[in-house]
Structures are given as structure tokens and as C-alpha cells.
Amino acid sequence: MSKPKINILIVEDDQNTIDFISAVLITDGYSVMKASKGKKAISMTADNNIDLILLDLGLPDIDGMQVLKSVREWSDVPIIIISARTEESEIVKALDSGADDYITKPLWINELLARIRRVIKTQKKISGSKETTEDSFTLGDLTVDYFKRKVTKNGEYVHLTPIEYKIVVLLSKNAGRVMTHDFIITHVWGGLYESDDQVLRVNMANIRRKLEDNPAQPQYIQTDVGIGYRMIEPKE
């Protein structure tokens, strides 16, 4: 029995680029859908079973960043940015807003296919790891609602950035297990910061400030010094 094809949505306004990427992906065994405008891409993502999005930032109706932020309000579908914008600030902004990877144009086909395989593999690891299959996670007064994509404490909404939310979800779905620095970085940022733990430490400090009553004495997320972080496992 052949395995189902992975469905990739290409969001790009240049027809030559769409045709080029489509041909490459179809040849490599992927199923392809196309959108030349941002608003159309958002509706297609909501209405179809999309496994991965290749998103250009320079779209004719709305900026690709708006598409990214809109989709991230309700979906964890992997998103790879493909853009001619090479400024570090643009790349960081996209990653902080929830992009899984960022590729600058012109495209190198082997690199594109490798990045796609890595992001899909990472997503499967998260989905297939020893983690809860529930729609939500509750630990004391803290609740992570995976379906609604929101975190509450004592019933009050806690505002987290897309990156902070991804970290909390990863830890909560693996409650009781130590998630190493490298594991978290790879699964949240795709390894783009693998040689620098500072970005993770900054995000963890922000998460604790928002979740913990006393960040110096955390009741939700523990630190295993020199190893990583562990979400405390709820008692039966």
C-alpha cells in the first residue's frame, strides 16, 4: 500500500517560480496546491488538509507576514518562508512570528527539498513522540488548550508569542520528560540556533515571568541544569 502524499501549498505571485517549484515537488512525489494571493492562501489552508506551506513574503494583496501571523492564530502547520528579503531583521521577525524555516532566493533545489524533508521529519517527531493525545493539558491552575491555541492561568488568558507558545506546547506534550536544549531548539527553530542557547534562555525567562508566581521557584517548568527543561507531570 502506497503512503498518502504530503500536500504542500505554494504561496507565490510569480508564475514562473510557481511552475518551477511545482514541477520539482511533483517529481519528488509531493501533492501540490497553489495560491498567488495571501487571502486566498489563508482560506485554502483553512479549507484543505495542508501538510506544509511554502510562503513568499512579497504578495500582491497582503504581506506574507500577515499570512504567517493569521495562520499561526489557529494552526501549527509547518511554514517555510521563501523570500528575496535577506536582511537578518526580516528573517528573525519571521521566525519569531512562527515560521519553521526561512530560505532566501534564488532557490537551490536540493537545499529546498532537504529543508522540506527536515521540517516534515521534525513535525512527525513531535506528533509521534511520547506525548499526550488530549486536546488540552492541565497542571494545577495552568491550562494549555491545543485546539484553541491558548494558555490560561487561573482562568485568565496568558499572552505568549508564537515561539513561546511552541515551547510550552512541546514541554507540556512531553510532561515529566527532560527536553534537552538541543532538542527544544531543533524542534522549535529547526536547528537554526543550534550553536547558541541564548535565544532559548531568553524565551524561557519570558515564559516563566508570564506563567510562574515566582520565577525563582517554578511550579510548572523545572530546569535540569546543563541539560534542559522539564514540564512537571500532573498527578493522577
- Interval 174-201: pLDDT, tens: 888 888 888 888 778 765 555 467 888 8
Flag whether 96 is in a domain.
Answer: yes
Flag whether 145 is in a domain.
Answer: yes
Which of 93, 128, 163 is the last residue before a domain boundary? 128
User: What integer pLDDT is reported at residue 130 of this predicted model?
Assistant: 44
Q: Are residues 103 and 16 in the same domain?
A: yes
- Interval 142-175: pLDDT, tens: 999 987 788 999 999 999 888 899 899 999 988 8
Of 5-19, 107-121, 123-137, the range with the lowest mean pLDDT is 123-137
User: What integer pLDDT is reported at residue 124 of this predicted model?
Assistant: 66
User: What integer pLDDT is reported at residue 15 of this predicted model?
Assistant: 92
Which residue from 175, 188, 163, 165 is spatially nearest to 132, judged by alpha carbons? 175
Residue with cell 513568499: 56
Q: Is 191 left (phi over 0), alpha (psi -120 to 50) or beta?
A: left
Question: Which residues are paired to 52 by β-bridges?
Answer: 8
Domain assignment of residue 142, given as a range: 136-231
Flag whether 48 is in a domain.
Answer: yes
Q: Are residues 140 and 107 in the same domain?
A: no
Q: Are residues 224 and 168 in the same domain?
A: yes
Q: Are residues 120 and 145 in the same domain?
A: no
Flag whether 97 is in a domain.
Answer: yes
Instruction: Characterize the bridge pairing of strands 156-158 and 150-153.
Output: antiparallel
30 pLDDT higher than 90: yes
User: What integer pLDDT is reported at residue 134 of this predicted model?
Assistant: 67
- Interval 76-111: pLDDT, tens: 788 999 998 888 888 888 888 888 889 988 888 999
Q: Give the H/E segment covering residue 89.
A: helix 88-96
CA distances from 187 to 32, 108, 123 (A): 25, 23, 8
What domain count does the chain have?
A: 2
